[in-house]
């Protein structure tokens, strides 16, 4: 996410769990404005979800606790807890992609990028954005929608869709309800708010959340609450601690059994731990637990990471 190199992620198919994080974690982490430094392209085949961690007794990884709380409203918490699948329109609405591009244009676009990178003397973020704007549509572009009344902008579904589109978009239609429910200060109030909504979206979301490991539900909620005020480095440190501890617990192994091995879809989760036990999962690790990892910029510059202890505590 902090690499000095400009990166382009193409979400042309299923991007789940860590793949979803890696496709989007490089966007806007430095708070810069103007021309984007990094890019993410959603396509007509985009399927984006944190469903994998949702059903494995885990939580969103790879810096997700940094960028999810920074999405507009409470969309990030909703995505982390519901395991909902997003299509291109949803991804664009959430700010998880900079461009939409029909899948059949991607090959030509990548070819143009490669050709210009080899032949142009200067080829940086501004030139990349120019190429992507030519083949696709950015979140602010109106070049493909001149027939629409400018005072009544089209919905995200209208703007970013195409043949063989994935599931119907739902973020834009349910954003107010998402904020009402997932903007609560604790899990209990969030679940109560979902029960009060009564609509099909809320009831389906509630059913999905109730399939989660209770431990994973409360850990994920607390992780995003903390991540909203943490630096990227601190978010990654916290995710590291949680991953080390949750991988050793029964729920992870039970989730793998139920959804990956036996595929019976009926995990036997552990009961919800106490608040003190949830809090203990976030505490700094001792040296005996610490795997060596260095969070510096050196390996980003030279393509080789020197391993040493002491950076993650």
* pLDDT score at 1: 56
- Model confidence pLDDT, tens digit, residues 217-246: 999 999 999 999 988 888 888 998 898 899
**Per-residue confidence band for 106, with pLDDT thresholds at 50, 70 and 90:** confident
pLDDT of residue 29 exceeding 90, the answer is no
Residue 206 lies in a domain: yes
* pLDDT score at 3: 65
pLDDT of residue 109 exceeding 50, the answer is yes
- Model confidence pLDDT, tens digit, residues 259-268: 888 888 888 9
Task: Please tell me the total count of domains within the chain.
Answer: 2
pLDDT of residue 31 exceeding 80, the answer is no
Pairing of strands 137-138, 99-101: antiparallel
More confident site: 190 or 166? 190
Residue 233 lies in a domain: yes
Would you say 190 and 218 are in contact if contact means Cβ atoms under 8 Å apart?
A: no
Q: Are 54 and 153 contained in the same domain? A: yes
pLDDT of residue 145 exceeding 60, the answer is no
Q: Are 219 and 302 contained in the same domain? A: no
Range scoring the smallest mean pLDDT among 73-87, 107-121, 263-277, 287-301: 287-301
The C-alpha atoms of residue 239 and residue 270 are separated, in whole angstroms, by: 21
User: pTM value?
Assistant: 0.79
Q: Are 112 and 182 contained in the same domain? A: yes
Residue whose pair of structure tokens reads 């400018």 in the numeric block? 150
**Per-residue confidence band for 139, with pLDDT thresholds at 50, 70 and 90:** low
Q: Are 35 and 140 contained in the same domain? A: yes
Q: Are 12 and 107 contained in the same domain? A: yes
* pLDDT score at 151: 52
Residue 13 lies in a domain: yes
SS (H, E, C) the chain: CCCCCCCEEEECCEEECHHHHHHHCCCCCCCCCCCCCCEEEEECCCEEECHHHHHCCCCCCCCHHHHHHHCCCCHHHHHHHHCCCECHHHHHHHCCCCEEECHHHHHHHHHHHHHHHHHCCCCCHHHHHHHHHHHCEECCCCCCCCCCCCCCCCCHHHHCCCCCCCCCCCHHHHHHHHHHHHCCCCHHHHHHHHHHHCCHHHHHHHHHHCCCCHHHHHHHHHHHHHHCCCCHHHHHHHHHHHHHHHCCCHHHHHHHHHHHHCCCCCCCCCCCCCHHHHHHCCCCCCHHHCCCCCCCCHHHHHCCCCCCCCCCC
More confident site: 131 or 179? 179
Q: Are 176 and 269 contained in the same domain? A: yes
Q: Are 295 and 158 contained in the same domain? A: no
Mean pLDDT of 72-90: 88
Would you say 107 and 98 are in contact if contact means Cβ atoms under 8 Å apart?
A: no
Q: Are 186 and 290 contained in the same domain? A: no
Tokens matching residue 9: 């992620």
Residue 239 lies in a domain: yes
Residue 2 lies in a domain: no
**Per-residue confidence band for 289, with pLDDT thresholds at 50, 70 and 90:** low
Mean pLDDT of 255-260: 87
The C-alpha atoms of residue 230 and residue 269 are separated, in whole angstroms, by: 30
Residue 1 lies in a domain: no
Q: Are 226 and 301 contained in the same domain? A: no
The CATH number of the domain where 229 resides is what? 3.90.226.10
Q: Are 258 and 309 contained in the same domain? A: no
Residue 3 lies in a domain: no
Among the listed residues 275, 278, 311, the one whose alpha carbon sits nearest the alpha carbon of residue 294: 311
Q: Are 144 and 250 contained in the same domain? A: yes
What angle is formed at CA 54 by the lines to CA 49 and CA 60, rounded to 5 degrees? 70
The C-alpha atoms of residue 245 and residue 144 are separated, in whole angstroms, by: 49
Residue 117 lies in a domain: yes
Q: Are 186 and 292 contained in the same domain? A: no
User: Containing domain of residue 312, as a range?
Assistant: 284-313
């Amino acid at each position: 996410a902090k690499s000095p190199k400009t990166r382009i992620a193409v979400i042309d198919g299923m991007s789940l769990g860590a793949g979803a994080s890696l496709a989007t974690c490089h966007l806007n982490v430095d708070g810069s404005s103007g021309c984007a430094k990094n890019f993410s392209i959603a396509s007509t085949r985009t399927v984006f979800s944190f469903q994998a961690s949702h059903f494995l007794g885990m939580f969103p990884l790879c810096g997700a606790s940094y960028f999810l709380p920074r999405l507009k409203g409470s969309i990030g918490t909703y995505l982390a807890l519901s395991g909902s699948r997003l299509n291109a329109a949803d991804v664009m609405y959430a700010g998880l992609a900079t461009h939409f591009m029909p899948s059949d244009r991607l090959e030509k676009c990548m070819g143009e990028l490669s050709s210009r990178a080899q032949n142009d003397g200067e080829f940086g973020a501004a030139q990349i954005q120019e190429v992507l704007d030519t083949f696709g549509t950015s979140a602010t572009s109106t070049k493909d929608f001149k027939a629409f009344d400018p005072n009544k902008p089209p919905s995200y579904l209208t703007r970013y869709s195409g043949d063989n589109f994935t599931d119907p978009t739902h973020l834009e239609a349910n954003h107010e309800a998402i904020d009402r429910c997932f903007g609560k200060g604790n899990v209990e109030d969030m679940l109560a708010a979902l029960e009060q909504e009564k609509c099909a979206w809320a009831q389906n979301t509630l059913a999905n959340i109730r399939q989660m490991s209770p431990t994973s539900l409360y850990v994920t909620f607390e992780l995003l609450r903390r991540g909203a005020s943490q630096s990227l480095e601190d978010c990654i440190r916290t995710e590291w601690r949680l991953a080390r501890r949750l991988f050793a617990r029964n729920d992870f192994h039970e989730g793998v059994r139920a959804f990956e091995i036996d595929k019976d879809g009926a995990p036997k989760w552990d009961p919800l731990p106490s608040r003190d036990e949830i809090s203990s999962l976030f505490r700094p690790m001792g040296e005996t637990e610490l795997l060596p990892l260095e969070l510096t910029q050196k390996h980003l510059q030279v393509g080789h990471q020197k391993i040493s202890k002491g950076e993650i505590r």
